[in-house]
Structure formats: C-alpha cells, structure tokens
C-alpha cells in the first residue's frame, strides 16, 4: 500500500530542496526571466553542491537527473530514486521551473539515459548534462511519426534529420536523439542515441524565444551525416515488431511523473502566494468550512487546491509504482494529464483572484502563469495523454483509437 506521508528518509531531501527554492531560485527568478538566454551562473555552484550531496547519499534524486526502475525483488515496498526525484522536483519547482531545467546535469536526457542505458553507458555518460531531442517539425506529440534516421555504417550510426524544441539543447554536454532505424518498420524501429554536443554534423540552428521558462534555453538542431559510435545507442539495436514502441516509451514512464512533479510544485507556489495575498486583503481561507459559508474568493481557492491535491497524489502514485517495478504507463499519463491541466488552471485562477497584483510584475504569479503552460505541453500534450489513457482503459491499439 502507498503511505501518503513523505517517507521519513526523504524528508530531509524535501526540506533541503525547499530551501534551495526559497533562498536560491526565488531571488533570481525574475532576473533571468527578463534576461532570456543569459546563463544563470549562480547555478554552477549549486549544481556542484547537489551532485556532491547525491554522491554521498545525503540528497539522492534532488533534481531531474536520473531515475531508474528498481524494486521487484525485495519484500515490502521501496521509496527509491523515482520517489526521491519527484519529491525534489516538486520542491525545486516551488521556486522556479525554468531554473530547475537550467541546472547542469539535471536535463530530461539524463532521465532518459538512466531509464534505459546499460551499466557501461551509465558509467560513460555519468556526470554529464544531457538534453532530450524528440520533437520534429512534423512529429510533435505523435513520437511514432519521427523521420530522423539512423543508419549503421560499420562501427558507427549516421544520423540525419531535424529536431526542434530541445530543452537545454545549447548548453547540455549530450543530446539524446530519437531516430528510426527503418521507417518501414514503424514504431518498433525508433531508438534513442546519445550524441555529444560537439559532434560534427550536429548543427545548432537557433535558440527559441518563449512565453515562459525563459531561464531555460530551447534549441533547434539539424543533423547532417552526424556520426556516433554504435555503442551510443540506448537499449537493444534489435527491431522487435511484437514489442513495438515499448523500448523507448519506457523513458516516458519515468519522465512523465517528473514533469507532473514540476507542475505540482508550481501549482503549490501559486496557491500559497494567493493565500497570502488574500489574507493581506482580509480574506481568510478556512478549509474546515463549506464553500457557501465563506467568501467567494476563498471558496474558489479551495476548489483549486482540491485539484492540486488530486494531481499531487497521482504523481506520487506513478513514482511509487516505478520504484516498485510495477507497470505505470497508465498512471504516468494520468499524472501528467491531471497535473499539467491543473497547473494551468491553478496559475490562471490565482492571477484572477489576485487581481492587479496577479497580472503585474510585482508578484511572481504573472511569471508562474506563463511558465505553467509548457508543463501541459512537453513530454506529451494534454490531448495525447488522454488518448493514451483511453487506449489503455479500453484495450485499444494506436491503430484502433487515433
């Protein structure tokens, strides 16, 4: 069974991450939102500190870097790297989502490597910052439509194609590129490849200007006869049409709860800030009283908080299942769908409740409302998550339910 309290051994991690959010992220949040594409130098020392704490076991899973399925052989239950990572992300995104995504060695590509790499690859790519390149001009939420190709030529794969919206792409050491080994084989031929950032043929086209998470760079790449060692393919090179897309999709089972955690942390920040602003205006929010017995603003905030709690519990469930070797594709998509939508509704609702303060730069609510939308889009949009959920609940294939 799942205990809904934060596990005792992870409370210190959550507290430390919360202190980072308050003392490091919040004070520089507005600065790097305005100075889009400027690298936050303050994060270098923080990243080194967190890496040292993780290595010593004091702060396991503090950021987005790396989750791996564990469990399955132990008696009882585990709260391992997935739970630790999600709890750390929730607290850090209580401070700033863009700054978390900008932290060295905390990219979603790191989670992809940790999810499917073998032990040799884990050692070889350890300590490096990895971005993840999935989206293409004609392949967004439908990852199966990827056209970037990988052709084996001797001891190397040759990659050709285009990738857009690569988070941390211009700053990361490695890019995890999704490509197909054989377009005629469909989903089963799609694999992920680790491409060092300075590899010839990996060409940075531009860095995007964005609505939110401006502290985080979002890059577009072109791959032209980009050669990498065949050992840089993650997972098996075999094309298993019976297994289909399952190999690379395992990455999403681990990373979607992480993005849900980002949404949960941001939503909580909005709720707490709005509660404070309402209190200053003389509006007291009392969760023990029914909605009709208190001010409309208080009742609305409690409604938003109920949705937040549902999103948080779904996120914790998906992480717990991964730690305990339970299939969680359905729960990962449920958590991502609920948290992404809730985060946007909470952020916009809190801007509305705060009035002029919520819409101005006097409060971070305005920034959080802009940051929220991406959490409903990347790692699979709201619509694609609902489609995945429907397929699993109804037992339909992607061909049967589109």
**What's the CA gap between 140 and 135, in Å, rounded?**
5
- Name the nearest CA neighbour of 237 among 302, 314, 330, 156: 156
- Name the nearest CA neighbour of 110 among 81, 130, 88: 130
pLDDT at position 62 is 46
- Name the nearest CA neighbour of 387 among 397, 376, 375, 373: 397
> Are 346 and 371 contacting, i.e. CB atoms less than 8 angstroms apart?
no
- Name the nearest CA neighbour of 85 among 180, 173, 14, 138: 14
pLDDT at position 116 is 84
pLDDT at position 71 is 52
pLDDT at position 68 is 59
What are 380's two structure tokens? 């699979």
pLDDT at position 146 is 93
pTM confidence score: 0.92
pLDDT at position 14 is 93
Given CATH 2.40.240.10, say whether it is the number of domain 246-394: no
Cα angle at 17 between 118 and 85, to 5 degrees? 25
pLDDT at position 107 is 81
pLDDT at position 48 is 75
- Name the nearest CA neighbour of 313 among 77, 79, 86: 86
> Are 181 and 240 contacting, i.e. CB atoms less than 8 angstroms apart?
no
Interacting residues of 126 by C-beta distance below 8 A, sequence separation 6+: none
Catalytic residue among 54, 91, 136, 379: 379
- Name the nearest CA neighbour of 90 among 64, 69, 65, 114: 64
pLDDT along the chain (402 residues), means of 10: 75 93 97 96 84 58 52 62 92 96 86 87 92 92 87 98 96 96 90 96 97 97 98 90 63 89 98 97 94 95 97 95 91 98 98 96 97 95 94 92 88
| Cα distances (Å, whole numbers) of residue 96 to 89, 176, 210, 239, 317 | 10, 24, 16, 40, 23
The correct CATH number of 130-234 out of 3.30.160.270, 2.40.110.10, 1.10.3720.10, 3.40.30.10 is 2.40.110.10
**What's the CA gap between 81 and 312, in Å, rounded?**
17
CB atoms within 10 A of CB 210: 18
pLDDT at position 110 is 87
**What's the CA gap between 374 and 378, in Å, rounded?**
6
CB atoms within 10 A of CB 390: 12
What are 46's two structure tokens? 């923080």
pLDDT at position 319 is 92
Instruction: Identify whether 379 is a catalytic site residue.
Output: yes
Cα 39 to chain center, whole Å? 20
CB atoms within 10 A of CB 167: 24
Given CATH 3.40.50.280, say whether it is the number of domain 8-125: no
Query: Is the Cα dihedral 251, 256, 257, 258 positive or negative?
Result: positive
Domain residue extents for the chain: 8-125, 130-234, 246-394
Q: Would strands 149-153 and 202-207 be described as parallel, antiparallel, or unpaired?
A: unpaired
């Amino acid at each position: 069974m799942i205990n809904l309290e934060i596990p005792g051994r992870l409370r210190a991690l959550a507290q430390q991450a919360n202190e980072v959010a308050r003392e490091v992220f919040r004070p520089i949040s507005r600065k790097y939102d305005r100075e889009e594409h400027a690298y936050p130098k303050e994060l270098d020392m923080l990243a080194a500190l967190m890496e040292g704490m993780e290595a010593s076991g004091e702060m396991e899973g503090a950021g987005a870097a790396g989750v791996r399925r564990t469990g399955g052989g132990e008696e009882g239950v585990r709260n391992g790297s997935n739970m630790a990572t999600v709890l750390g992300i929730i607290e850090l995104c209580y401070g700033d989502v863009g700054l978390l995504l900008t932290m060295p060695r905390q990219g979603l590509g790191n989670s992809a490597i940790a999810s499917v790499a073998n032990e040799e690859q884990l050692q070889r790519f350890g300590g490096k910052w990895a971005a993840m390149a999935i989206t293409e001009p004609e392949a967004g939420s439908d990852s199966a439509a990827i056209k970037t190709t990988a052709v084996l030529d001797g001891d190397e794969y040759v990659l050709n194609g285009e990738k857009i919206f690569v988070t941390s792409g211009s700053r990361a050491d490695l890019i995890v590129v999704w490509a197909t080994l054989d377009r005629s084989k469909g989903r089963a031929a799609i694999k992920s490849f680790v491409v060092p950032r300075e590899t010839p043929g990996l060409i940075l086209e531009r860095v995007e200007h964005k609505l939110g998470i401006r502290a985080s760079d979002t890059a577009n790449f072109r791959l032209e006869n980009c050669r990498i060692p065949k050992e840089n393919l993650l997972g098996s090179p075999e094309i298993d049409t019976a297994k289909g897309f399952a190999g690379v999709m395992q990455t999403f089972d681990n990373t979607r709860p992480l993005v849900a955690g980002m949404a949960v942390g941001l939503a909580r920040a909005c709720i707490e800030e709005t509660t404070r602003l309402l209190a200053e205006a003389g509006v007291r929010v009392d969760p023990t009283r029914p909605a009709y017995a208190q001010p409309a603003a208080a009742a609305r905030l409690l409604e938003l908080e109920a949705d937040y709690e549902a999103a948080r519990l779904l996120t914790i469930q998906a992480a717990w299942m991964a730690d305990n070797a339970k299939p969680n594709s359905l729960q990962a998509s449920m958590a991502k769908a609920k948290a992404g939508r809730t985060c946007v509704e909470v952020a916009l609702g809190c801007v509305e409740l705060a009035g002029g303060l919520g819409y101005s730069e006097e409060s971070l609510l305005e920034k959080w409302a802009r940051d929220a939308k991406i959490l409903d889009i990347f790692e699979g949009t709201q619509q694609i998550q609902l489609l995945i959920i429907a397929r699993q609940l109804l037992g339909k294939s992607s061909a049967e339910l589109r």
